[in-house]
A = this chain, B = another copy of it.
Amino acid sequence: MSPRGRRPGGADTRAAILAAARADFAEQGYDATSVRGVARRAEVDPALVHHYFGGKAKLFAAVLDIPADPAALVGAIVHGPREQVGEGLVRTFLALWDSEEGRQRFQALLRSAVTHDEATLMLREFLAREVFGRVVRELHPGAGHGKAPPPELELRAGLAASQMIGLAVMRYIVELPAVVEAGHDELAAVLGPTLQGYLVPGA
């Protein structure tokens, strides 16, 4: 056997963890999947999962083939200046998806959401917990007094997401010329105030 036939153990381990995570997320959804359970399925120590992926949200991003951890990006924005949250979310979203590769990833994601119920479930739970839930908790820390945030805020976070997903559908799937040709500044100028109004009403 030539040396070229040997693969580094790290790549194998990483691939095994990813395969186990893909199976667990698909079978159990996002909420019920744990780093410990994925490690068990991959037959590795949970510390290795943290070493390679850094936690459940990042593991999920890796399974979806998303180039960055959306939860971390959202966290950075909601901790920035409060009056720039809307525009910041628009610009971050575009930076994440607005490339030929990103467009293909969004198409793949939407395709599986439309055709496979299991993909929809894990996407829904991830968005609810790590993205919108985070936005609502960080922007309105007093809301709900430690309990679940009030439905009004959850609805507004969901509608903010709906605007961004709709933008991606028009820009990457339907490809309406005016929406495809718009630059980031133009989109941020029109959509920023919308997201700001949804997420930080009155601010």
Contact = CB atoms under 8 A, between A and B. Distances in A.
The oligomer's copy count stands at: 2
B159 A190 contact: yes
Contact of A169 (B111, B154, B166): B166
Interface string A123-167: 110011000100000000000000000010011111101111111
A173 interface: yes
Interface of A: 107, 110-111, 113-115, 120, 123-124, 127-128, 132, 151, 154-159, 161-167, 169-171, 173-179, 181-182, 186-187, 190-191, 193-194, 197-198
Given A159-B191, A166-B167, A174 B124 contact: yes
A115 B108 CA distance: 10
A158 B173 contact: no
B115 A174 contact: no
A157 B178 CA distance: 9
Given A114-B107, A163-B163, A193-B197, A158 B178 contact: yes
Nearest to A159: B190
Contacts of A151: 178, 181
Nearest to A150: B178
Given A124-B175, A155-B178, 15 more contacts: A111-B115, A114-B114, A114-B173, A132-B176, A155-B186, A157-B178, A158-B178, A159-B170, A162-B170, A163-B166, A165-B166, A165-B170, A166-B166, A166-B167, A166-B169
Nearest to A178: B154
Contact of A161 (B154, B155, B170, B198): B170
A191 to B, nearest CB: 7
30 contacts: A110-B110, A111-B115, A113-B174, A120-B173, A120-B175, A124-B174, A127-B176, A128-B177, A132-B176, A155-B178, A155-B182, A155-B186, A155-B190, A156-B190, A157-B178, A158-B178, A159-B167, A161-B166, A161-B170, A162-B166, A162-B169, A162-B171, A163-B163, A163-B194, A165-B174, A166-B167, A166-B169, A190-B198, A193-B197, A194-B194
